[in-house]
Amino acid sequence: MRAPGSPYRRTGARLKAEERPVYAQRRIVPSVEIGFALPPSTNSLFFNAPGRGRVKTPRYRRWRDSAVLEICTANPRPGRIAGPCAVTLRLPPFSGDIDNRVKPCLDVAVAAGIIADDGQRYVPSHPRVDIDRSAAGVRMILSALAVEAEDAAEIETRARLNQSPAYIAVALGLSLGQVETVLAGASR
């Protein structure tokens, strides 16, 4: 049972995407490559359950859990992309519609904490999809959107002046994730 003063009591409020522990505890990196088995088609991810609405199918749950485990136990442990990113999927040959394989791949990246969310704020353009005839599984490459050199220099200067990343992002018209990515690269 939770303590009465606990900030996590049941108020109906959920954590913001960026605050989920599986995401927030990963280090920020400019690019991540992950691999996992080919997902089931989007057509077989959910079914209608009377009184419950749309429910994940057992097949999708097994695949998703297996893919998340494969990503989270990879060595070295993959980092996270802070802010918007470009996504490239390299799929093995399969029959069916390519777009039906994109959604479960993005869902796994969110569940594993590689990206905060798969909405337009974090994935502003449709993922690029390639078929790799020699692949046995899916390779997913996520890259933070580039920041111009002048903006990167300005971010570092403002950070040395103790301006907060949120303030810098607003002042320069960038996302907080882009600022955090530059600052993470500058601290190495």
Inform me whether the pLDDT recorded for 8 exceeds 60: no
Inform me whether the pLDDT recorded for 123 exceeds 90: yes
Q: For residue 12, what pLDDT is reported? A: 59
Residue type, 134: S
Q: For residue 160, what pLDDT is reported? A: 94
Distance CA 39, CA 68 (A): 12
CA angle 133, 128, 125 (to 5 degrees): 170
pLDDT band at 11 (very low <50, low <70, confident <90, very high): low
What's the pLDDT tens digit per position in 157-180?
999 999 999 999 999 999 999 999
What's the pLDDT tens digit per position in 39-56?
999 889 999 999 999 999
Q: What is the pLDDT of the chain when averaged over all its residues?
A: 89
CA angle 76, 109, 187 (to 5 degrees): 50
Q: What share of the chain is helix, strand, coil (3-state, %, to 5)?
A: 35, 20, 45
Q: For residue 13, what pLDDT is reported? A: 72
Per the document, the length of the chain is 188
